[in-house]
Chains A and B, each alone.
Chain A
């Protein structure tokens, strides 16, 4: 098999593998980035794919130097610290957990894990030192570079190596980095050979007692003293902190109250993190004072639109595609009111018998007697829609307008002679979800999801046509939703004393089915349930599944207090289902009032018990044109 290293589409979904300069090449700053660059501790909170890694990586010297954007100079002038990015991922966290497993007692295992983490962090610091040195290419923009003679570098390296118990082969930063890599390998070796070693062997290694903050503090002091560069701070950028061992997480969160003036901590976390309760003293009094909490999700869909538009433009530019707005390329969403509909009309309103909205209303009224009842109840005559006064239009029409196309789409016309029953189309009908605003909402402003869909839309000739066909948009949106559910299905659940807990995907499916029923199958309501709350008596295995779904991005937290986004408990909190799943389950792209999760699950379980197995989502594939 020939090995081909051409980048694949997976690479574009994930900033982790990219160098800082590569991240900078396509970086689109959001308002969260403008807050993140501030000279304070930060906690960046968001589900997978929401851009945490990208944001942190952008704070590194090479990224800021390479970034070419109208805002780049302004940002560079504001950033007076050196970013030290410390990577993490799920595989590495498993490796830390596996160190010495089955052969070492708890304490030496803990020491070994700390040693691994410290080594990794100090290696990241050395890479940051290297990034401060003048580069061979002498880029047009030099950001926070310092001139260091070889003798000065050697002095720094020797001092640090002595303190860190290292013996690099040369007095250079590069050699120091390599010796840290060798130490990382040594840590793994000790773990795998533990059964042959004495019990005290691990504790006898001097490097296991290094603490990363003290070791880093010393190294930075030496660097600054020798280079005579004492301006600015050092920002430690820790990614995926929820994957770190509990004692590391505790240490870093407590670092938010650190009094070392040289350090900033910028931590990336998922919305629900275990073991936060003991750290309340670090977190509770601090938000807005000692640190900032930055949410990377949008409870209200429109908040994501601006970012999505910018990301769209950047993606076209990167591919040298002629600029075209998303609305021009994809058309309008069925759920939005096009400005032309009211601007160009004599009546100055989109609510007319001959407008798209008017036609949608008429079509649904012909199918749905409960909708007809709603219109009658509110005195709405569909032939005289434009005559409805503005206040009544807002109260009775505008708020239901997004629901109408969804409901109409799924209900077939009532057959004459039928016993009043309405037949329902297959639930997966994503063509309804085509259009720019739908794409923005469905992507949740999550860069990975957005790029994953748009990347495919920009392939081939479709983007050069007047409009990307709805069928093509539908296909890619559905594929993205199915990819996402495949990932959700993989996530492991916990086994409880009562047996296997409900799988994460089955929980998500239950909520999706309920929302569809509320919006499409029940008698028409202007405000169908569109979110849920977690009851105080929710069993703990279900809580775990909700937390997993939240961290994966399947559920979106709707905070009641914008200042508190890190969840110490999800009981009593409100969530909605991600709009990425809307094409699979058929629910509206809008936030509706909540129902309790317990009630939702009871109703769904009862229905399954009564009528047998419901059709599995994803069990069939529709052939889309």
Chain B
């Protein structure tokens, strides 16, 4: 895979060659498109095959009215093929500018997009603005349904350990599902664990996350905890990449990006730079109850340049523009 160069993103309604959104049931699914897609040449929305409830119809109507091509993908395989086709349909621009709204994508589909951009067969360079709309706080559902998938978010992000005998270090982006992070760390039998707590304007999330992970945090010393600011994803990326770089020297690293999806994106970008690192997801596969998320007004993101492979471009830092924090 080609290496990403990650940069801070200043949001404005620029002219994109391709705007990619997910058509889902969350009200925030169209928040980024409303602000940023107006000048885009191609507007593409991938719809899920099921759960057409809550704000789905409203979102579909808005996207149709605003020139989006809506394509349904009933499986991740289908989604991957659709994304490849969407990239292939780009004109002959030297460096296409793309916007991808990950707010209502599943983690698996975010991984598919990252992989598609990184592995582009045509060797094209892309400038991609990944954007994320933070949802207003909504308490987690009381019932937990069993998990259907516990494993790498996709085969491309399974990582590779040339020394499997080394201990596993789990880096966990915390979410507010009760003890989910604790279960995941034990599932992979991690010998070491780092907890990344999300902080944002929606302060209620932080309280809920602390409560849901009380048992875990009892075991993780303060020196192994960090906070990342959802509204500052570039700085969060820098911190995460540094942590992974240091930890992977003596441990095999698995990242569990629970919580805000922006952390999932950052994890995938870091794993693109460290091919030995695994990114896992824990999912009920759509069997859990659909939860409404309204846009909170927080829209943030990072810009990623996919450059040629290292042997062609030479070495260089994975990020630029801001001093390492």
List of A residues within 8 angstroms of B142 by Cβ? 616, 619
Q: Is B193 an interface residue (CB 8 A)?
A: yes
List of B residues within 8 angstroms of A182 by Cβ? 162
Residue of A nearest to B222 (CB): A4
Q: Is B178 an interface residue (CB 8 A)?
A: yes
Q: Are the C-beta atoms of B223 and A490 separated by less than 8 Å?
A: no
Q: Are the C-beta atoms of B1 and A192 separated by less than 8 Å?
A: yes
Q: Are the C-beta atoms of B166 and A17 separated by less than 8 Å?
A: yes
Number of A-B residue pairs, CB cutoff 8 Å, is: 167
Which of A89-97, A345-353, A382-390, A573-581 is near enough to bind chain B?
A: A89-97
Residue of B nearest to A5 (CB): B250
Q: Are the C-beta atoms of A91 and B179 separated by less than 8 Å?
A: no
Chain B, range 113-168, C-beta contacts under 8 Å to A: 121, 142, 144-152, 155-156, 158-168
Inter-chain CA distance A13–B182, complex, in Å, is 14
The listed residue (A3, A10, A483, A493) touching B191 by CB distance below 8 A is A10
Chain A, range 576-625, C-beta contacts under 8 Å to B: 616, 618-619
List of B residues within 8 angstroms of A98 by Cβ? 152, 155-156, 158
Shortest distance in angstroms between B10's beta carbon and chain A's nearest beta carbon?
A: 25
Q: Are the C-beta atoms of B150 and A9 separated by less than 8 Å?
A: no
Q: Are the C-beta atoms of A14 and B218 separated by less than 8 Å?
A: no
Q: Is A411 an interface residue (CB 8 A)?
A: no
Q: Are the C-beta atoms of A90 and B189 separated by less than 8 Å?
A: yes
Q: A1-B242, A94-B151, A185-B162 are in contact. Are A489 and B179 (CB under 8 A)?
A: yes
The listed residue (B149, B152, B243) touching A3 by CB distance below 8 A is B243
Shortest distance in angstroms between A379's beta carbon and chain B's nearest beta carbon?
A: 49
Q: Is B246 an interface residue (CB 8 A)?
A: yes
Which of A66-74, A421-429, A497-505, A510-518 is near enough to bind chain B?
A: A497-505
The listed residue (B160, B162, B187, B191) touching A90 by CB distance below 8 A is B187
Digit string of B212-256 for contact with A (CB within 8 Å is 1, else 0)?
000100111101101000000000000100110011001110100
Q: A3-B243, A3-B247, A91-B159 are in contact. Are A492 and B215 (CB under 8 A)?
A: no
Residue of B nearest to A2 (CB): B223
Q: A3-B243, A188-B275, A500-B145 are in contact. Are A490 and B186 (CB under 8 A)?
A: yes
Q: Are the C-beta atoms of B226 and A1 separated by less than 8 Å?
A: yes
Q: Are the C-beta atoms of A495 and B285 separated by less than 8 Å?
A: yes
Residue of A nearest to B163 (CB): A181
Q: Are the C-beta atoms of A89 and B152 separated by less than 8 Å?
A: no
| Total chain A interface residues with beta-carbon distance under 8 A | 62
Q: Are the C-beta atoms of B278 and A10 separated by less than 8 Å?
A: no
Inter-chain CA distance A124–B162, complex, in Å, is 12
Shortest distance in angstroms between B145's beta carbon and chain A's nearest beta carbon?
A: 7
Digit string of A1-41 for contact with B (CB within 8 Å is 1, else 0)?
11111111111011011100000000000000000000000
Residue of B nearest to A48 (CB): B189
List of A residues within 8 angstroms of B226 by Cβ? 1
Inter-chain CA distance A492–B246, complex, in Å, is 31
List of B residues within 8 angstroms of A5 by Cβ? 250
Inter-chain CA distance A92–B224, complex, in Å, is 24
Residue of B nearest to A57 (CB): B165
| Highest count of chain A CB atoms <10 Å: which of B165, B179, B223 | B165
Q: A1-B243, A94-B278 are in contact. Are A17 and B191 (CB under 8 A)?
A: yes
Q: Are the C-beta atoms of A184 and B155 separated by less than 8 Å?
A: no
Inter-chain CA distance A181–B188, complex, in Å, is 23
Q: Are the C-beta atoms of B189 and A14 separated by less than 8 Å?
A: yes
List of A residues within 8 angstroms of B58 by Cβ? none
Q: Are the C-beta atoms of A618 and B239 separated by less than 8 Å?
A: no
Q: Is A105 an interface residue (CB 8 A)?
A: no
Chain A, range 441-493, C-beta contacts under 8 Å to B: 479, 482-483, 485-493
Residue of A nearest to B183 (CB): A490
Q: A10-B190, A10-B219, A188-B275 are in contact. Are A91 and B161 (CB under 8 A)?
A: yes
Q: A1-B243, A8-B192, A11-B191 are in contact. Are A490 and B155 (CB under 8 A)?
A: no
Digit string of A283-311 for contact with B (CB within 8 Å is 1, else 0)?
00000000000000000000000000000
Inter-chain CA distance A505–B179, complex, in Å, is 13
Q: A192-B1, A483-B182 are in contact. Are A506 and B162 (CB under 8 A)?
A: no
Shortest distance in angstroms between B253's beta carbon and chain A's nearest beta carbon?
A: 10
Q: Are the C-beta atoms of A492 and B191 separated by less than 8 Å?
A: no
List of B residues within 8 angstroms of A501 by Cβ? 146
Q: Are the C-beta atoms of B164 and A89 separated by less than 8 Å?
A: yes
| Highest count of chain B CB atoms <10 Å: which of A11, A91, A195 | A91
Residue of A nearest to B166 (CB): A17
Inter-chain CA distance A195–B122, complex, in Å, is 13
Q: Is B185 an interface residue (CB 8 A)?
A: yes
Q: Is A158 an interface residue (CB 8 A)?
A: no
Q: Is B291 an interface residue (CB 8 A)?
A: no
Q: Are the C-beta atoms of A89 and B147 separated by less than 8 Å?
A: no
Shortest distance in angstroms between A485's beta carbon and chain B's nearest beta carbon?
A: 8
Shortest distance in angstroms between B198's beta carbon and chain A's nearest beta carbon?
A: 14
Q: Are the C-beta atoms of A492 and B149 separated by less than 8 Å?
A: yes
Q: Is A102 an interface residue (CB 8 A)?
A: yes
Q: A91-B252, A95-B160 are in contact. Are A17 and B247 (CB under 8 A)?
A: no
List of A residues within 8 angstroms of B166 by Cβ? 17
Q: Is B282 an interface residue (CB 8 A)?
A: yes
Q: Are the C-beta atoms of A486 and B183 separated by less than 8 Å?
A: yes
Q: Are the C-beta atoms of B164 and A88 separated by less than 8 Å?
A: yes
Residue of B nearest to A100 (CB): B155
Q: Are the C-beta atoms of B148 and A500 separated by less than 8 Å?
A: yes
List of A residues within 8 angstroms of B192 by Cβ? 7-8, 10-11, 17
Shortest distance in angstroms between A52's beta carbon and chain B's nearest beta carbon?
A: 12
Inter-chain CA distance A13–B192, complex, in Å, is 10
Residue of B nearest to A180 (CB): B162
Q: A9-B219, A102-B155, A181-B163 are in contact. Are A487 and B183 (CB under 8 A)?
A: yes
List of B residues within 8 angstroms of A266 by Cβ? none
Q: Is A148 an interface residue (CB 8 A)?
A: no
Digit string of A74-112 for contact with B (CB within 8 Å is 1, else 0)?
000000000001011111101101100110000000000
Q: Is A407 an interface residue (CB 8 A)?
A: no
List of B residues within 8 angstroms of A124 by Cβ? 165
Q: Are the C-beta atoms of A486 and B168 separated by less than 8 Å?
A: no
Q: Is B86 an interface residue (CB 8 A)?
A: no
Inter-chain CA distance A101–B76, complex, in Å, is 14
Q: A11-B167, A483-B215 are in contact. Are A495 and B188 (CB under 8 A)?
A: no
Q: Are the C-beta atoms of A479 and B162 separated by less than 8 Å?
A: no
List of B residues within 8 angstroms of A362 by Cβ? none
Q: Is B184 an interface residue (CB 8 A)?
A: yes
Q: Is A120 an interface residue (CB 8 A)?
A: yes
Inter-chain CA distance A98–B144, complex, in Å, is 28
Q: Is B203 an interface residue (CB 8 A)?
A: no
Inter-chain CA distance A95–B179, complex, in Å, is 26
Inter-chain CA distance A489–B219, complex, in Å, is 19
List of A residues within 8 angstroms of B251 by Cβ? 17
The listed residue (A91, A486, A493, A504) touching B186 by CB distance below 8 A is A486
Q: Are the C-beta atoms of A91 and B188 separated by less than 8 Å?
A: yes
Q: Are the C-beta atoms of B146 and A185 separated by less than 8 Å?
A: no
Q: Are the C-beta atoms of A490 and B150 separated by less than 8 Å?
A: yes
Q: Are the C-beta atoms of B161 and A95 separated by less than 8 Å?
A: yes
Selected A-B contacts with CB under 8 Å, 8 pairs: A89-B168, A92-B164, A94-B278, A95-B161, A184-B160, A489-B180, A490-B183, A503-B147
User: Residues of B at under 8 Å CB distance from A?
Assistant: 1, 121, 142, 144-152, 155-156, 158-168, 178-180, 182-193, 215, 218-221, 223-224, 226, 239, 242-243, 246-247, 250-252, 254, 275, 278, 282, 285, 287
Having A85-B165, A90-B188, one finds 20 other A-B pairs with CB under 8 Å, namely A4-B224, A7-B192, A8-B192, A8-B219, A10-B185, A88-B164, A90-B189, A91-B161, A91-B252, A92-B161, A94-B151, A94-B152, A98-B158, A184-B160, A192-B1, A489-B146, A500-B146, A500-B148, A503-B146, A505-B146
9 nearest A-B residue pairs (beta carbon): A17-B167, A503-B146, A17-B191, A490-B183, A98-B158, A98-B155, A486-B179, A87-B165, A101-B155
User: Residues of A at under 8 Å CB distance from B?
Assistant: 1-11, 13-14, 16-18, 48, 85, 87-92, 94-95, 97-98, 101-102, 120, 124, 181-182, 184-185, 188, 192, 195, 479, 482-483, 485-493, 495, 500-506, 616, 618-619
